[in-house]
Chain A
């Protein structure tokens, strides 16, 4: 019988994929439930500390600036593998790296904040209403990842057309963070709201379109995280469909169950291709399209996974409900999918 061809990747990506999968299986899988239920800052910090060995704590910062120097696709490969076990940790790492991105791209005096040890996970205060006046930042960010117990916050002032960014120490005067009391999903990414009142930045960074660079990283990264969620949904649903008997046969023998699983399988292949394609483009639109497709696929895969599990899909023990919650969040950050669709149309010549 013909087999599906293996997803083609260069050796460097295959090695990284194996290393990231090994980290996720050994460090994250055993405590995935705790990271969802009790995502205390110390637990998250401990969980992601070993990701530094994969270069994930400064992945998008060039090596000459002291970073990991991964290319966009390599970063996505690692995020996908991590998200297979714990999507919240993958998003925490994504937000941290997006927070470092302006420093990696821009020009400023001094050292890049956050590349050193114990400087993670950094908070990316985006999107939000932030103003930069007289060298001080003020404003509100209703939703930000890594908002709790972060060492520093990266802001992109709204009134600077995305050409400037600022980093602010989390314990600076005028900075306050409020954790979300009951986030739906991605709880290990410690979401919360931020308020800044005349806070003094530790760094002001300028040069290039930082807003678009950060947006592209978030769309692309979440597209990769979504592939991880689809894979986890497929893995769990497949295993359950082979152990559950109904009317004298395994439920995987029912054609509708097989269609559910096949849709997930197609979603993994399509999702990886979209991420690969978007990684090679510096434009924002391909990343938005990959994000739109993959997050929708992830939501459907997780919902179908719950359906296959029947009543057990609602129970914490089987882990499917967590995937459904995590997947939904991906569809709403850094914008809603509807906002992204309208923006895509505006970007096109027909807009």
Chain B
């Protein structure tokens, strides 16, 4: 929000952090897969 349009521009480096961070949420599994696996691992699975 603070960065507004500048956040979309390569010059400020913010868009790179967003791209990098998003990948972390999908590897080695998606967060949804990990959550479902956690439930399966628990005694509630």
Considering the chains assembled together, what is the distance between the CA atoms of A266 and B35 in angstroms? Answer: 8
Binary contact readout A315-341 vs B (1 if CB under 8 angstroms, 0 otherwise): 000000000000000000000000000
Q: How many residues does chain B have at the interface if contact means C-beta atoms less than 8 Å apart?
A: 11
Which residues of A in the span 236-258 have a Cβ within 8 Å of any Cβ on B?
Answer: 238, 255, 258
Question: Among residues 254 to 277 in chain A, which have CB atoms less than 8 Å away from a CB atom of chain B?
Answer: 255, 258-259, 261-263, 265-266
Cross-interface CB contact of A1 among B32, B35, B36, B40, cutoff 8 Å? B40
Kindly state whether residue B29 has any CB partner on chain A within 8 Å: no
Contacts of B41 in A (CB 8 A): 1-4
User: In the complex, what residues of B have CB within 8 A of residue A259's CB?
Assistant: 32, 35-36
> Interface extent on A, as a size class?
10 to 19
Q: Are A265 and B40 in contact, with the CB atoms below 8 A? A: no
User: Which of A1-36 touch B at CB < 8 Å?
Assistant: 1-4
- Interface of chain B residues 1 through 45 with chain A (CB within 8 A): 32, 35-36, 38-45
Residues on A with C-beta less than 8 A from B38 are: 4, 262, 265-266
Contact residues in B for A263 (Cβ distance below 8 Å): 35
Which residues in chain A, 139-193, are within 8 Å of chain B measured between CB atoms? none
Q: Which of B36, B40, B42 contacts A255 (CB 8 A)?
A: B36
Given contacts A4-B38, A262-B38, contact A238 B44 (CB under 8 A): yes
CB distance from A305 to the nearest CB of B (A): 14
* Shortest beta-carbon distance from A40 to chain B in Å: 37
Complex CA gap A156/B45 in Å reads 48
B43 contact from A3, A255, A262, A266, Cβ within 8 A: A3
Give CA–CA (A255, B35) in the complex, Å. 11
Q: Are A265 and B36 in contact (CB under 8 A)?
A: no
- Say yes or no: A258 contacts B43, CB within 8 Å: no
Question: Are B43's CB and A265's CB within 8 A?
Answer: no
Give the shortest distance, in Å, between B41 (CB) and chain A (any CB). Answer: 5
CA distance A3 to B39 in the complex (A): 10
Contacts A3-B41, A258-B35, A262-B36 supplied; 20 other A-B pairs, CB < 8 Å: A1-B40, A1-B41, A1-B45, A2-B41, A3-B42, A3-B43, A4-B38, A4-B41, A4-B43, A234-B44, A255-B36, A258-B36, A258-B39, A259-B36, A261-B39, A261-B44, A262-B39, A265-B38, A265-B42, A266-B38
For the complex of A and B, the 4 pairs showing the least CB-CB separation, nearest first, are A262-B35, A262-B39, A4-B41, A4-B42
Q: Can you list 6 A-B contacts (CB < 8 A)?
A: A4-B42, A258-B35, A259-B36, A261-B44, A263-B35, A265-B38
- Residues of A at the B interface (CB closer than 8 Å) are 1-4, 234, 238, 255, 258-259, 261-263, 265-266
